[in-house]
């Protein structure tokens, strides 16, 4: 039986990737320390309903964390990392230290695997931010864009730097690696510290016709629904032509300004709101739109879920799993935070 290992397996991409690999017939071992990933009903459903799923609740920095794992994995996806602008701003040193240490641990352990076909490392679209700021970049942005680091005095640089260094470590590891750079992937279970769920929540809380302040309103993005991102990642991980290469993962189409995104989200919820322009977020790139033509050429797959449909699916999930439960908690004063 084919085996896959997913670190950060309770996280947003990790959970969806795990579920997809199980559907494809893999035995999946997922590792997560529980710091950001959620052990929710959907995870329990996997644990109770699939004998090919194993969850290891452990930290990669712990001694002997990997000792009990087999040495015959076909695929390894190293998704464990400290992410999120808030986390990076509060603890840049830890981001650099732990992200690098965890990757080194995984690479050196993976060198002992007997039948490894691919080690997949997710980098980030943030690697292009310094080049955009200093020189400007081509839009859509290709993977061959020279990378420039932003000011080391900015905490946000720590995350980007951990990923650029990580890409170099992977390239020199001697393993069959594929590096992916996700761009604005969204969908169910992504938490609240992202623009789409954050806007969804604020739209729901805003009365009909009321004002909704939108930050970085003129900045634009293309958004990729999680199912499309996972399809690209799995195909890249299982395609020989992707070995040793770096690929953008995202959507090249439907670039949209954040203010227009807020209006579209309001329409998805069924409201008409007054969009009020707020200030730009420090460090936020004015545009982000990837060139994914190399990934499409290798995988023969183009993202298919339009933004309107992805937002509808996202809203339905958050309404059922987070917003309604939050409203219920607010109705009980002794449970309110």
Tell me: the pLDDT tens digits for 62-109?
878 898 899 999 999 999 998 888 888 899 999 999 999 999 999 999
Terminal-residue alpha carbon distance, the chain: 47
Asked whether the beta carbons of 17 and 31 are under 8 A apart, the reply is no
**Alpha carbons 329 and 290: distance in angstroms, whole number:** 40
**Best CATH choice for the domain 3-187+224-251+284-306 from the list 3.90.76.10, 3.40.50.720, 3.80.10.10, 2.60.40.10:** 3.40.50.720
Please tell me the predicted confidence (pLDDT) of residue 326.
44
Average pLDDT over residues 276-302: 94
- What pTM does this model have? 0.94
Question: Of 84-88, 181-185, 270-274, which gets the smallest average pLDDT?
Answer: 84-88
Q: Residue 200's pLDDT band (boundaries 50, 70, 90)?
A: very high
**Alpha carbons 18 and 250: distance in angstroms, whole number:** 19
Asked whether the beta carbons of 314 and 196 are under 8 A apart, the reply is yes
Please tell me the predicted confidence (pLDDT) of residue 291.
98
Angle between helices 258-269 and 195-205 (to 10 degrees): 50
Q: What are phi and psi of 270, to 5 degrees?
A: 100, 30
Q: CA torsion 35→39→43→47, rounded to 10°?
A: 100
Q: Which of 252, 256, 278 is nearest to 267 (CA)?
A: 256
**Alpha carbons 288 and 223: distance in angstroms, whole number:** 9
Q: Which residue has the tokens 């707020």?
A: 278
Asked whether the beta carbons of 185 and 250 are under 8 A apart, the reply is yes
Confidence check: pLDDT of 229 > 70? yes
Q: Spell 77-98 as b/e; 16+ CB within 10 A means b.
A: bbbbbbbebebbbeebeebbeb
């Amino acid at each position: 039986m084919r085996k896959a290992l997913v670190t950060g397996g309770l996280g947003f991409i990790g959970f969806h990737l795990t579920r997809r690999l199980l559907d494809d017939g893999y035995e999946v071992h997922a590792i997560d320390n529980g710091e950001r990933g959620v052990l929710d009903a959907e995870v329990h459903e996997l644990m109770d309903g699939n004998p090919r799923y194993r969850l290891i609740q452990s930290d990669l920095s712990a001694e002997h964390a990997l000792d009990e794992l087999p040495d015959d994995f076909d695929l390894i996806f190293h998704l464990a990392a400290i992410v999120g602008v808030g986390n990076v701003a509060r603890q840049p040193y830890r981001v650099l230290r732990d992200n690098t240490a965890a990757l080194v641990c995984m690479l050196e352990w993976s060198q002992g695997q007997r039948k490894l076909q691919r080690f997949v490392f997710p980098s980030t679209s943030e690697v292009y931010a310094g080049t955009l700021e200093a020189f400007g970049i081509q839009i859509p942005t290709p993977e061959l864009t020279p990378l420039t680091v932003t000011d080391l005095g900015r905490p946000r640089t720590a995350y980007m730097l951990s990923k650029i260094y990580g890409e170099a470590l992977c390239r020199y590891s001697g393993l069959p690696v594929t590096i992916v750079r996700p761009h604005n992937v969204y969908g169910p279970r992504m938490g609240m510290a992202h623009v789409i769920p954050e806007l969804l929540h604020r739209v729901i809380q805003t009365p009909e016709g009321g004002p909704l302040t939108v930050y970085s309103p003129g900045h634009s993005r293309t958004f990729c629904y999680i199912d499309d991102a996972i399809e690209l990642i799995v195909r890249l991980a299982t395609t020989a032509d992707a070995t040793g290469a770096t690929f953008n993962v995202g959507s090249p189409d439907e670039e949209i300004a954040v203010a227009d995104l807020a209006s579209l989200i309001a329409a998805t919820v069924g409201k008409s709101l007054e969009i009020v322009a707020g200030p730009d977020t420090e460090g936020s790139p004015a545009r982000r739109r990837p060139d994914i033509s190399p990934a499409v050429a290798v995988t023969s797959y183009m993202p298919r879920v339009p933004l309107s449909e992805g937002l509808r699916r996202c809203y339905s999930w958050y309404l059922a799993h987070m917003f309604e439960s939050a409203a219920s908690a607010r109705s009980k004063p002794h449970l309110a935070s």
